[in-house]
Chain A
Amino acid sequence: MISIEWLISLSAILFTIGLIGVLIRRNAVVVFMCVELMLNAVNLSLVAFSAYHGDIAGQILVFFSLSVAAAEAVVGLAIIIAIFRNNLSVDIGDINLLRF
């Protein structure tokens, strides 16, 4: 059986990769994909804790997290399309209307 520390370490590494991706990428769609990556990393640690406790509640939480991720992806991509239509760019450096 896999030790739980391995699973949490994998989850932490994936979360960190997602975080670095959010910080270094300029394309808004890829930034969204990195956010999905971070959500998945947290889901992995929830499933690991659920399996090791023998408690199903963690998996139910992952189920809800999946549906929230789906809703977030839909709304986020709609916002990206709206910005692209007004701005003709998805580069997050070009989206500076609210910058002071």
Chain B
Amino acid sequence: MEIYAFIVLSVLAIGSALGMILNKNTVNSALFLVLHLISLAGVYLLLKAQFLAIVQIIVYAGAIMVLFLFVIMLLNVADEKSLLDRFRVGYFLAFLLGVAVLGQIVYSVAGVAGILPSISPEMEQIGTVEAVGDVLFTEYLMPFEMTAILLTAAVVGALMVAQFKSGKATHS
């Protein structure tokens, strides 16, 4: 049962990722990315990481993708010319590089396949909100607070970069 759910979810994830990079309409690309993120959240659920599945949907598919769609509609860019209407050397090189990277990852993983861990007996308990919060607010409290500083700095920096100044040139 889990195997079938995993196969369906991974086909959905790979298909929507391919749809994202091959679609010439930017809004459609963003919606394909939302589908991809939701199917990855399903994979997280299969791995008993409930907290991360919910956070993935709320933060990624909710907040970040809304930001992307706002920017796409704010910029109102035209569709790209179709990627597949003519052959370019760059596409072929990109494909070759991708195959090389994939081969490298698969080769290095296959080298350690024998020593990869088997199913852990305590994996039923991990991944709940309680377990994640317990570790996050004790052992990892300092990085958590650093995250708050990072997000504040990102918001202030984004405002500084993107705000509109009338009359003179913007910072860039």
Contacts and interface: CB of A to CB of B under 8 A. Distances in A.
Given A29-B77, A85-B170, A78 B21 contact: no
Interface in A13-66: 13-21, 23-27, 29-30, 32-34, 36-37, 40, 43-44, 47-48, 50-57, 59-60, 62-64, 66
A56 B132 contact: yes
Contacts of A51: 47-49, 120, 123, 126-127
A19 to B, nearest CB: 5
Given A67-B147, A78-B158, A24 B90 contact: yes
Contact of B64 (A25, A36, A50, A82): A36
A25 B21 contact: yes
Contacts, number: 226
Given A51-B123, A71-B153, A73-B67, 18 more contacts: A2-B47, A7-B43, A9-B106, A10-B13, A14-B17, A16-B101, A34-B20, A40-B40, A44-B44, A47-B49, A55-B126, A66-B55, A67-B150, A69-B60, A77-B158, A81-B162, A82-B171, A86-B170
16 contacts: A19-B97, A21-B20, A23-B94, A27-B26, A29-B26, A30-B21, A33-B20, A36-B64, A47-B43, A47-B47, A53-B117, A75-B154, A78-B162, A81-B75, A81-B161, A85-B170
